[in-house]
Amino acid sequence: MTRPRKEQVSISDTPYYHIVSRCVRRSYLCGFDKTSGKSYEHRRQWIEDRIRLLSSIFAIDICAYAVMSNHIHIVVKLHPESIKDLSTDNILKRWCCLFKGPTLVQNWRPGEELDSAKQQTVSDIAEQYRNRLMDIGWFMKCLVEPVARMANKEDQCTGHFWESRYKSQALLTEEALLSAMAYVDLNPIRASMADSPEKSDHTSIKERIKPCFNLVKAISGQQDTECLQGFDLPVKPLLHFEGSVKNDVQDGILFGYTDYLKLIDATGRCIRKGKRGYMPAHLKPILERLHIDEQTWLINTTQFELIYQKRFRRRPILQRNSA
């Protein structure tokens, strides 16, 4: 029996997760409909912009993403520490970018005087929202539901847009995180949508190489009037690469950015048709440090979903920490 998402997520075991969501209408998510001759490519920008905006609201960092023609991949890191000390007003401000909230909250935010009982109710509501802003389920709800409404409005139809609930996989090791990120960043190349990482539109790897996120265009492109109202938060960048292990607290990815780019480029050459598969010598320090052999790495980054899905079928479900 399928377990609830809350029983599959445990930050104490790992803060990293690979998420996939597929479209029920397949090529009509973002691709080109050969039957009607209509292009839906503009929807990819809807999704990419929304991923970045939601990350700025939620306590969720984006490690990698790829918006494909009929599905999306996102590798995230849960970062609850980033909002645990935020004030009630700040939490409500974030939440009200997405939802109006109850009347009591709507009255309190402009400065209406409330008695102590109502003040306590507002504080309790804010704590509930704080927990939601740390939750993958709410993040995905706020991502996929507005996109479905926007697409259905554009198509002048009703019904399901996404195939099913999103799928998530916990990334328990450095090898799993690194191979998941590479798998996601190289998806367009494997799908013959691009011939190099820097030409892979609507992916994290291209955004890292050539940053081009535009806040004004992103907000104006979100046509759903129920969401992203009054957004004035700083846009959170993609999760940074630390470069090395340090004694201080490390919030980023424990690899070097230059090394990762070299690894992506080398792996892309290995999996491209007609290219000779090999790992350049300068990548050995990363692979040796993680104890990953060449053949295992190539298999993991080309068959990530299949391999890790099978592994998780054999693993016990991660239980939520009692705290």
283 — phi, psi (to 5°)?
Answer: -90, -5
**Angle formed by the axes of helices 304-314 and 174-185, to 10°?**
140
Identify the band that residue 289 occupies on the pLDDT scale cut at 50, 70 and 90. very low
Looking at the chain, the whole-number percentage of residues with pLDDT higher than 90 is 34
Mean pLDDT of 166-175: 90
The answer to whether residues 181 and 64 touch, using CB atoms and an 8 Å cutoff, is: yes
Q: Write down the pLDDT at residue 292.
A: 57
Token couple for 126: 């804010």
| Closest by Cα among 154, 138, 140, 142 to 25 | 154
Looking at the chain, the whole-number percentage of residues with pLDDT higher than 70 is 72
pLDDT digits (tens, 9 = 90+) for 39-93: 888 888 899 999 999 999 999 999 999 999 889 999 999 999 999 999 999 999 9
Side-chain-side CA neighbours of 236 within 13 Å: the count stands at 21
List the CATH code of the domain at 12-83+133-314: 3.30.70.1290
SS3 of 53-83: the string is HHHHHCCEEEEEEEECCCEEEEEEEECHHHC
pLDDT digits (tens, 9 = 90+) for 199-239: 889 999 999 988 888 887 888 777 665 567 778 888 899 99
CB burial of 41-60 (b: ≥16 within 10 Å; e: otherwise) equals eebbbbbbbbbbbbbbbbbb
Spatial separation of the C-alpha atoms in residues 194 and 208, rounded to whole Å = 16
| Closest by Cα among 191, 163, 153 to 68 | 191
pLDDT digits (tens, 9 = 90+) for 235-263: 899 999 887 656 566 688 888 888 888 88
Q: Facing residues of 71 across strands?
A: 22
Q: Write down the pLDDT at residue 4.
A: 59
Q: Write down the pLDDT at residue 88.
A: 94
Least confident of 144-158, 179-193, 213-227, 284-298: 284-298
Which residue has 């609201």 as its token pair? 57
Please give the full DSSP string across 2-43, using - where no structure is assigned: PPPGGGT--TTT-SEEEEEEEBTTGGGTTSEETTTTEE-THH
| Closest by Cα among 136, 141, 188, 164 to 17 | 136
Residue 315 has pLDDT above 50, yes or no: no
Q: Write down the pLDDT at residue 74.
A: 97
Residue 17 has pLDDT above 90, yes or no: yes
Higher per-residue confidence, 103 vs 219: 103
Spatial separation of the C-alpha atoms in residues 288 and 184, rounded to whole Å = 22
Residue 182 has pLDDT above 60, yes or no: yes
Q: Write down the pLDDT at residue 16.
A: 95
Cβ neighbors of 261 (< 8 A, separation 6 or more) are 197, 208, 209
Cβ neighbors of 310 (< 8 A, separation 6 or more) are none
Spatial separation of the C-alpha atoms in residues 266 and 306, rounded to whole Å = 22
pTM exceeding 0.95: no
Token couple for 93: 């401000």
* In the chain, where the domains are located: 12-83+133-314, 84-132
pLDDT digits (tens, 9 = 90+) for 149-160: 888 888 888 888
Mean pLDDT across the chain: 79
Spatial separation of the C-alpha atoms in residues 45 and 39, rounded to whole Å = 13
Element (H, E) at 167: strand 167-170
The answer to whether residues 60 and 78 touch, using CB atoms and an 8 Å cutoff, is: yes
